[in-house]
Amino acid sequence: MISLEEREKELALLQSHIKQVKAEISKVIVGQEEVIEQLIWAMVAEGHALLEGMPGVGKTMLIRTISDVMELSFSRIQFTPDLMPSDITGTKMIELQDDGKQSFVFHEGPIFANVVLADEINRATPKTQSSLLEAMAEKTVTIMGETRKVAAPFFVLATQNPIDMEGTYPLPEAQMDRFLLKINMGYPSKQDLYEIINRTTGVESAKPEKVMNQEMIMTIQQSVKEILVSDEIVDYAVKLIMATHPSDEHASDKVKQYVRYGVGPRGLQSLIRIAKARAFCAGRFHVSKGDIKQTAFPVLRHRLFLNFEGEASGVEVDDILEDVMQHID
């Protein structure tokens, strides 16, 4: 059994690899530090993330770069209305064997990769979207009655476009809840645009180094679970979740007026998991109140549902979450 001091050194070494990952990603991706940070939180917390942003802001490039730096297999699925579930999971096909007999042979779909980019996930039908559910929740895929495990580690990083919603199929609430985080990716700043031009329109392009591998990621994921959470922090997180319910006695006037459904137990579990991931990435071994506050927006914004008045008034969920946190402090 190793001593506490030795364990702290091990954790510090793993935490240093997180910093290297960020440094390598920044060789390719300009700005977007907060988005990169949140994606790494999701991955070290063994979760999936939904990335929402306008076309052309670099969502696909970012996800591909992360998989390169972490030395993970990568696949991209472009979701369209005619995409079938078997296009994602794979299927069995009859093939002629060397002995002249015919047999069913399984052909893996793109879901069997470490990092699966589900691009514009809201373009596919609900039936096809749901083919991701089992893999995201159970890390298995069932094809023709046979269950297969997906790769380990396994991350679904989905994107959706906030405009041009005609002909799309919004993700059902149950599927939204499968994503640990919903990350908003905005436009780069003016200064970042200059840097993007410098890096992308010349002869040479930046090539990030691989600074992590599958085994190291799974070790980090296990270490994140060991981060300590005090009873006081858990009490604060529970209070925060309860205050999103319009029927709760501590709910603010804004929540009572605009919220239809508050955050459920899975939202609380996700909040603690991501707060641990943030604490680990920040080089600490315990969760602080600041970790809860900083992670509440990406963890909870897709788990809080507005009523008709809220939708009609154009109220932003992030504004309600800000109001909730001010109300319980």
DSSP string, 2-43: --HHHHHHHHHHHHHHHHHHHHHHTTTS-S-HHHHHHHHHHH
CATH architecture of 227-328: Orthogonal Bundle (1.10)
Specify the pLDDT at position 130.
Answer: 83
Contact between 107 and 91 under an 8 Å Cβ cutoff? The reply is yes
Give the tens place of pLDDT for each residue, 266-309: 999 999 999 999 999 998 889 999 999 999 999 999 999 999 99
Which residue in the block uniquely carries the two structure tokens 């993970």? 72
**Regions of the chain short of the pLDDT cut 50:** none
Specify the pLDDT at position 172.
Answer: 78
Cα-based distances in Å from 57 to 22, 28, 182, 186, 286: 18, 13, 16, 7, 34
Specify the pLDDT at position 125.
Answer: 87
Contact between 115 and 82 under an 8 Å Cβ cutoff? The reply is no
Specify the pLDDT at position 61.
Answer: 87
- Going from N- to C-terminal start, the domains of the chain cover 4-202+212-218, 227-328
Give the tens place of pLDDT for each residue, 174-211: 778 889 999 998 888 888 888 888 887 877 777 888 98
Q: Examine domains 4-202+212-218 and 227-328 and report if their fold is the same.
A: no
SS3 content of the chain, % helix, strand, coil (to 5): 50, 15, 35
Q: Spelled out in words, what is the top-level CATH class assigned to the domain 4-202+212-218?
A: alpha beta
Specify the pLDDT at position 165.
Answer: 67
